[in-house]
Amino acid sequence: MVATPISDNPLITATVTTDGHGLRLCVLASGSSGNCTWVASANTAVLIDAGLSGRRIKQRLETIGGSIDALQAVCISHEHQDHIMGLRVLQRRHNVPAYANAGTAEALARYPDWADLPWNIFTTGHPFTVGDLTLKPFSVPHDAYDPVGFIVEHDGLRAGIVTDMGMATGLIREQLRNCQLIVLESNHDELLLRDCNRPWSLKQRIRGRQGHLSNQAAANLLTEIAGPTLQQILLAHLSDDCNEPDLALASAQAALEAGGHTHIRVGLTYGDRASECCCCVAPVP
């Protein structure tokens, strides 16, 4: 399939395509009911998180032409249920190797069902490779044992996947610079959260420094990290009752337009279906 340039800007160094080359990414599910992102090169495919049932992961992979049997790793960002639900089925029934840092593995090992899961342990801040992908886990502030975001690199291309963070730290900004694709949390609208019918303590947890990123905070982060390399944003982990897709989109788009970054596409992710499938390829020299 022919590559489709998404901008005439000569500074743009990557092209979003739908063919099989470069670094491909699809968010199979996102939100409090389950998070799972597929990232692949032509030769290697991994999942970031497995927050759907094994059956649903299989179904959604098939909708994008992927397969559980082709997965070479499932990398867990943190131990919350919406990120691990299908992990045991992937590991035990399909023999997909599970990766996490020691904090996440230990948090899960406290439960009998998870005690015997064999882990490949990575160290936060230290890159590791799976096939021809390099994964760089970095710390994010969230109310879990040792939560991380990931940069996935292949052939000079970078995709960032970062959700479940209460605030955008300097480390997060640094990691997300110079990515072509970013999956970014845009969890809630601050007014909808204030007015929604949830216990005050839960609202405090969500808006706390180890909670979830609001639309406005995500937009502020985009203002700081957007540049000519960045091609596409997928907004993720939207709250069902404290956000609206249109509000999240408008907030991100307004921030990018105000910064003059009109080449950057902003898309959504969903709880009940896979997102669009994005692909970055290296520029022709």
Give the Cα separation of 213 and 61 in Å (integer).
27
CA distances from 25 to 9, 158, 181, 256, 285 (A): 23, 11, 8, 22, 23
- Mapped onto helix, strand or coil, the DSSP state of residue 147 is coil
CA angle 242, 245, 247 (to 5 degrees): 75
Minimum Å gap between C-beta 237 and Zn ion is 6
- Listed residue (109, 101, 181, 182) closest to 138, CA to CA: 101
Give the Cα separation of 131 and 241 in Å (integer).
39
Minimum Å gap between C-beta 37 and Zn ion is 12
CA angle 130, 164, 144 (to 5 degrees): 85
CA distances from 238 to 76, 184, 192, 241 (A): 19, 10, 12, 9
End-to-end CA distance of the chain: 20
Residue with the shortest CB distance to Zn ion: 80
H/E segment holding residue 59: helix 54-63
Minimum Å gap between C-beta 8 and Zn ion is 37
Choices 75-83, 152-160, 227-235, 254-262; region in contact with Zn ion by CB under 5 A: 75-83
Total of residues contacting Zn ion (CB under 5 A): 3
Q: DSSP string spanning 78-132?
A: ---HHHHTTHHIIIIIT-PPEEEEHHHHHHHHTSGGGTT--EEEE-TTS-EEETT
Choices 118-126, 160-168, 179-187, 201-209; region in contact with Zn ion by CB under 5 A: 160-168
Q: Which of 49, 146, 164, 189 binds Zn ion (CB under 5 A)?
A: 164
- Residue (16 or 235) nearer to Zn ion, CB: 235
- The verdict on 153 binding Zn ion (CB under 5 A) reads no
Give the Cα separation of 214 and 207 in Å (integer).
8
- Residue (206 or 256) nearer to Zn ion, CB: 206
Minimum Å gap between C-beta 49 and Zn ion is 8
Restricted to residues 80-109, the positions that interact with Zn ion (CB under 5 A) are 80, 82
- Residue (22 or 166) nearer to Zn ion, CB: 166
- Residue (13 or 210) nearer to Zn ion, CB: 210
Minimum Å gap between C-beta 173 and Zn ion is 20
Choices 72-80, 101-109, 151-159, 250-258; region in contact with Zn ion by CB under 5 A: 72-80
- Residue (218 or 230) nearer to Zn ion, CB: 218
Kindly report the backbone phi and psi dihedral angles of residue 113, in degrees, each rounded to the nearest multiple of 5, phi listed first: -65, -25
Minimum Å gap between C-beta 32 and Zn ion is 6
Minimum Å gap between C-beta 269 and Zn ion is 12
Restricted to residues 107-126, the positions that interact with Zn ion (CB under 5 A) are none
- Binding stretches for Zn ion (CB under 5 A): 80, 82, 164
